Amino acid sequence: MGKLELPPRALTYEEFLAWCDEDTRAEWVDGEVVLLSPASRRHQDLADFLTAILRAYVEAHRLGLVLSAPFQMKTGPDLPGREPDLLFVASENLGRLRDRYLDGPADLVVEVVSPETRLRDRGEKLAEYEAGGVREYWILDPDWQRADFFALGPDGRYDRRRPGPDGVYRSEVIEGLWLRVEELWRDPLPPVLEVLRELGLV
């Protein structure tokens, strides 16, 4: 299989969606295609772990929909098309969903950091998600064992949120959802059923 050829010119977002198939991991930034590197096992394990927990919790409480990569999110007309590792859309905002992308901000976005995305996740995407109205943003770095949580304040700017003294982070967007942050760095990760039991789902 040959190396994927990038388009020879700038694309509109609609052209990008037509060009990008379901096997291509890429983002759209100012008309340019940015290809994403394959995820490491650690990255994928954490993303899958969180997807399983959030999806089960959200479905059980009928709060909305959880989607994982590859799925596009376009938070605004003048903002890039990104492919978050995980996003949650609340029930009242499900009208933003299109067949191939989310037309507007997710209520919660999770990015699992890898070495090549560290600056982008903490810089460009932080600013874009804030400007685009993503209500809660988690940046999880398994290599550095660092978790950063942000929530939109009344002024439309991100405020940092921290776990409590017990090491537990409680989501502001997904009511009742909490996580023990140190467990995100375990290898292997805790059994999903064990976490769901603690959340009262099984």
DSSP letter for each residue of the chain: -PPPPPPSS---HHHHHHH--TT--EEEETTEEEEPPPPPHHHHHHHHHHHHHHHHHHHHHT-EEEEESS-EEE-STTS-EE--SEEEEEGGGGGGB-SSEEES--SEEEEE--TTTHHHHHTHHHHHHHHHT-SEEEEEETTTTEEEEEEE-TTSSEEEE---TTSEEE-SSSTT-EEEGGGGG-SSPPPHHHHHHHTT--
Q: Tell me, what's the pLDDT at 135?
A: 98
Whether pLDDT at 72 is above 50: yes
Nearest in space to 48 (alpha carbons), one of 85, 22, 101:
85
The answer to whether residue 7 sits within a structural domain is no
How many domains is the chain partitioned into structurally?
A: 1
pLDDT band at 1 (very low <50, low <70, confident <90, very high): very low
Q: Tell me, what's the pLDDT at 36?
A: 77
The answer to whether residue 112 sits within a structural domain is yes
Q: Tell me, what's the pLDDT at 3?
A: 56
Supply the CATH number for residue 165's domain: 3.90.1570.10
Mean pLDDT of 72-101: 96
The answer to whether residue 29 sits within a structural domain is no
For residue 164, what are the domain limits? 39-198
The answer to whether residue 13 sits within a structural domain is no
Q: Tell me, what's the pLDDT at 143?
A: 92
Whether pLDDT at 80 is above 60: yes
The answer to whether residue 190 sits within a structural domain is yes
The answer to whether residue 47 sits within a structural domain is yes
The answer to whether residue 31 sits within a structural domain is no
Q: Tell me, what's the pLDDT at 4?
A: 66
The region of weakest confidence among 13-22, 98-107, 181-190 is 13-22
The answer to whether residue 110 sits within a structural domain is yes
